[in-house]
Amino acid sequence: MNASEMLALDRAHVFHPYSTFINPPPVFPVKSARGVRLTLTDGRELIDGMSSWWSVIHGYSEPSINAALHEQIEQLSHVMFGGLTHEPAVRLAQRLVELTPAGLESVFFADSGSVSVEVAIKMALQYQQARGQAGRQRLLTVRGGYHGDTFGAMAVCDPVTGMHSLFTGSLSQQLFAPRPGIRFDGAWNPADIADLAALLAAHASEIAAVIVEPIVQGAGGMWFYHPQWLRELRALCDQHGVLLIADEIATGFGRSGQLFACEHSGIAPDILCLGKALTGGYMTLAATLSTREVAETISRGDPGVFMHGPTFMANPLACRAALASIDLLLANDWQSQVRRIECGLGQGLAPARALPQVADVRVLGAIGVLELHKPVDMRTIPQAFVSRGVWVRPFGRLVYVMPAFVMNDADLATLCAAMVEVVSTLP
């Protein structure tokens, strides 16, 4: 179909994420994608600053991942994981155990990041019940967090500034401490975690786990906080017999400058959620890792099994894509790639500090953020970026990018210049 037909049918029948079905904002039809460029059906090329919601770390149509998927689809495209297993899943589990922080030895595959958070929450609840702590039914987290769009995940997103306040009456009521306030490179002050410590002490008998996004709060605010805060949290969880869940769906696989953001603090969680870049952006796949102690305690408790089982868990194609993506990441000197992106973002976004529209400029790893004083107009700002040959999708007061690690310096400079220019035209 031609572009006009596609857009007409899209408008008639397709409900886009965080959008309206009545008079929706414009969408831009993509014909193909290669490297860091999206080609629209009208022939225009856009430099992609979003990595398709932070997942396409190697760029689009990467030959080595393409080849792995072509080979895998001829062998085994899917099989149920109940009572069966296959080599891509087993190999991927082994790789994840090897790469993630020490002590994580059990791998549960899921469909998406939100589902991996649901799995983590259920693991924490089953774990506490199995160890005779059935009263521990609540989660503690911090303001400004985002963990997904399913019900358990929504319940631990920020209840006020997050995207799910409409569902407040239907969600489990969890506990929220102030978000970490000290910047990643700031001077540490123990008072920054005092409120959380007090809340945890007061409600320890009710709390099964603390869940946080390590170092980088993503869709809840793009905030980068001090590594010592996470070290203090790890100690507090140990003190009170509470599990620590690290949501690294956005930060895993090098995005923050470490392979996993927990490594900035030198800590290991009890449960770790992964997704997004796990497959290099090729297919939906997530994983929830836990310590052997968590997995074995769940297995010893009633009913003796972990109560979750997605139909498409451990899909062989997705697992094979993840293996190829991890191999490529480790072969490509990703640390140098991310340091180069960080330097380019720092230089390219620096002029925005002088703009009256801008409240803050933040860069960490391959993440660049312009925080504005006022929310953007999502009906007009995407077109402003497209007209400049780049794809940037802001939200709220945040204009941000998470480019693919392979983006060259010239494209990165173009992307940053477009961000500064577009923001400078805002009221």
Which residues carry out catalysis? 18, 146, 247, 276
Q: Which of 90, 157, 52 is nearest to 393 (CA)?
A: 52
CA dist 63 and 226 (Å) reads 38
- Residue 260 to residues 52, 213, 304: CA-CA distances in angstroms? 20, 11, 31
Q: Which two tokens stand for residue 18?
A: 């965080």
Residue with tokens 């904002």: 25
CA dist 207 and 177 (Å) reads 13
CA dist 81 and 303 (Å) reads 20
Give 3-state DSSP helix, strand, coil % of the chain, rounded to 5. Answer: 40, 20, 40
- Residue 87 to residues 83, 91, 270, 312, 315: CA-CA distances in angstroms? 14, 6, 26, 16, 11
Q: DSSP string spanning 127-169?
A: HHHHTT-TT--EEEEETT----SSHHHHTTS-TTTSS-GGGGG
CA dist 172 and 122 (Å) reads 13
CA dist 247 and 180 (Å) reads 16
Q: DSSP string spanning 202-234?
A: HHGGGEEEEEE-SSEE-TTT-EEB-HHHHHHHH
Count of all residues that appear for the chain in the document:
427
CA dist 97 and 86 (Å) reads 17
Q: DSSP string spanning 250-285?
A: TTTTTTTSSSSGGGGTT---SEEEE-GGGGTTSS--
**Residue 193: strand pairing partners:** none
Cβ 369 vs Cβ 416: under 8 Å: no
3-class state of residue 303 by DSSP: coil
